[in-house]
Amino acid sequence: MVRLFVPLPEHPPTEVLLSGDRHHYLLHVLRLSEGASLEVFDGTGRAFEARVAAVDAREARLTLGAARSTPPRRALSVLQGLPKGDKLEWVLQKGTELGAAAFYPVDTARSVVKLEPKRAGERTLRWEKIVEEAARQCRRNDVPQVHPPAALLDRARALPPGTQLLVLDEEETAVPLGEAFRACAPGAPVALVVGPEGGLTREEVAALRALGARGVTLGALILRTETAALAALAVMAHLEGELG
């Protein structure tokens, strides 16, 4: 069944009107006409059987059935050092498929990319579209949050209370990611810090450890920044019983 992302209030109506981009997507991409069935998901974990009640050149009207909710899962977040090119978009897309709950693009000492506020806002809107589409494609009913870029330590300090902070550290050899993840409190949110090309500086790692972070390793191989983030998410998803 085709799926469409539509943000809805806590108490959803029985009918919703679509215009703008969502109307265009329904009419010209999905090519749905009056009477067609589809699934609507609202990004919070709810999905609805829906039907196109009416559609014209300007808007569409959908009728919604009862909500089905996805069971809550442990929140896995990624603090990703801003990488070059389109690598972050790859992390967002594939990280959504692997179950990430939130992404925090962070500015680090070795980040080559520096985004001015206007550019950062434009990028964040694009990143949000990427995770929405990835959630639709992989049949997630929730959509990860994508936060605007910010300084690494500022983001680490502002994580939700109780978050277990893990840092991929190329100089850590004794603590595998899997071991550290198993030691996290059951159900507690986990945030993983991944450096950009060139990794984190020793000062950044020390500052994160001072905040309670634990350094971890993925093994002996040196992985690219985008590969490391996705490999780590896959390990954690597997240990949570979500993958493999």
The 10s digit of each residue's pLDDT in 93-118 is 999 999 999 999 999 999 988 888 88
Average pLDDT over every residue of 35-57: 95
Q: Could you give the 3-state DSSP secondary structure of residue 232?
A: helix
pLDDT for 44: 93
Residue 113: the pLDDT is: 85
Residue 5, SS3?
A: strand
Where residue 148 falls among pLDDT bands split at 50, 70, 90? very high
H or E element that contains 107? strand 102-107
Q: Which residues contact 181 (CB under 8 A, 6 or more apart)?
A: 166, 190, 216, 235, 236, 239
Cα angle 187, 191, 195; round to 5 = 160
pTM: 0.91
155 close to 104: Cβ distance less than 8 angstroms = yes
Question: Quick check: 38 pLDDT over 90?
Answer: yes
Mean pLDDT of 173-195: 96
Q: What is the pLDDT of residue 115?
A: 85
Would you identify the CATH topology of the domain 3-69? Ribosomal Protein L25; Chain P (2.40.240)
Secondary structure class of 94 (helix, strand, coil): helix
Architecture of domain 76-239: 3-Layer(aba) Sandwich (3.40)
CA distances from 70 to 44, 45, 46, 158, 206 (A): 9, 5, 6, 27, 38
Name the residue ranges covered by the structural domains of the chain: 3-69, 76-239
C-alpha torsion sign, points 111, 191, 126, 152: negative
Residue-by-residue DSSP string for 15-70: EEEE-HHHHHIIIIIS---TT-EEEEE-BBSEEEEEEEEEE-SS-EEEEEEEEEEP
In the chain, the percentage of residues whose pLDDT exceeds 70 is: 100
What is the C-alpha to C-alpha distance for residues 220 and 193, in angstroms, rounded to an integer? 18
Burial profile 116-143: b = 16 or more Cβ within 10 angstroms, e = fewer: eeeebeebbeebbebbbbbbbeeebbbb
CA 103 – CA 113 distance, rounded (Å) = 17
For residues 57-82, one letter each, b for 16 or more C-beta atoms within 10 angstroms of the residue's C-beta and e for the rest, the string is: eeebebebeebeeeeeebbbbbbbbb
Which element (helix H / strand E) includes 168?
strand 164-168
Least confident stretch, 104-118, 182-196, 198-212, 228-242:
104-118
Question: Two tokens at 134?
Answer: 């990835």
